[in-house]
Amino acid sequence: MHRFANPTRVLRIAAAILPWSAALTIVLFASGLYFALVASPIDYQQKDAVRIMYVHVPAAFMGMMGYALLAVASAVGLIWRHPVADLTAKAAAPIGAAFTFVCLVSGSLWGQPTWGTWWVWDARLTSVLILFFLYVGYMAIWQAYDDQARAARAAAILALVGSVNLPIIHYSVTWWNTLHQGSSFSLAGSAIDPAMLLPLGLMTGAFAAYFVTVLIYRLRSEIAQRKLGVLRLRQAEGLQAT
């Protein structure tokens, strides 16, 4: 039963984290939304449209962090044949895709009033759209194979190849001319006013806590489904033997 030994430990750790991440999700969303929509100043140029930043920037950040997690888990699964790592990557993909989708939609809704356009095919926007397609392709590969081990391998290879897109997204605003602004954060500090930094930090924390919470539920579901497959296979073999 060594196959179940590891998932059991992972599930125990996940069960210990879950109440904290769930509570943090609720508290951070409640306070983050209050500061984002009510108790933060408007921008002198963008007025209230600046509030879109409080969902757009955390969604972009978590979309990229989710892909980084997916790529690392895929590498672990590929190198050490660790099924829980494969399932973690599989569980993370829809969450990362959802955040990337939110990033694209909120960015479009922010672009229209501030840039005068919903969309431009420039480096930043295009590379984030590619990130979304990478997530979708990754999920499609899992669906395309009946053999879960082969599906995991093929999906992991796509995940690793696609990870070159992460630095491209990050540096796209410095490497190419773009409508999108450069990074407001550096090692030297932030170019954002503290009154706006607070809701931004709270919302980023809320998105991260949400990510962990939903990841745990999805991982539980994936592990249960994998056990179900093993049991059904054993049952079929047992019926054949008698």
Partner 1 sequence: METLGSFFAMGGYAAFVWPAFGVTAAVLIGLLLASLKSWRDNEAALRSLEDSQQTRRRRSERGNAP
| Residue whose CB is less far from partner 1, 8 or 221 | 221
47 near partner 1 (CB under 8 A): yes
What does the H/E/C string look like for the chain? Answer: CHHHHHHHHHHHHHHHHHHHHHHHHHHHHHHHHHHHHCCCCCECCCEHHHHHHHHHHHHHHHHHHHHHHHHHHHHHHHHHCCHHHHHHHHHHHHHHHHHHHHHHHHHHHHHHHHHCCCCCCCHHHHHHHHHHHHHHHHHHHHHHCCCHHHHHHHHHHHHHHHCCHHHHHHHHHHHCCCCCCCCCEECCEECCCHHHHHHHHHHHHHHHHHHHHHHHHHHHHHHHHHHHHHHHHHHHHHHHHC
Q: Which of 3, 4, 19, 113 binds partner 1 (CB under 8 A)?
A: 113
| Residue whose CB is less far from partner 1, 50 or 159 | 50
From the list 68-76, 106-114, 156-164, 180-188, the region that binds partner 1 by CB under 8 A is 106-114
From the list 12-20, 67-75, 79-87, 223-231, the region that binds partner 1 by CB under 8 A is 223-231
User: From residue 168 to residue 197, what is the string marking binding to partner 1 with x (rule CB under 8 A)?
Assistant: ------------------------------
List of residues contacting partner 1 (CB under 8 A): 33, 37-38, 42, 47-49, 51-52, 55-56, 59, 94-95, 98, 101-102, 105-106, 109-110, 112-113, 210, 213-214, 217-218, 220-221, 224-225, 227-228, 231-232, 235
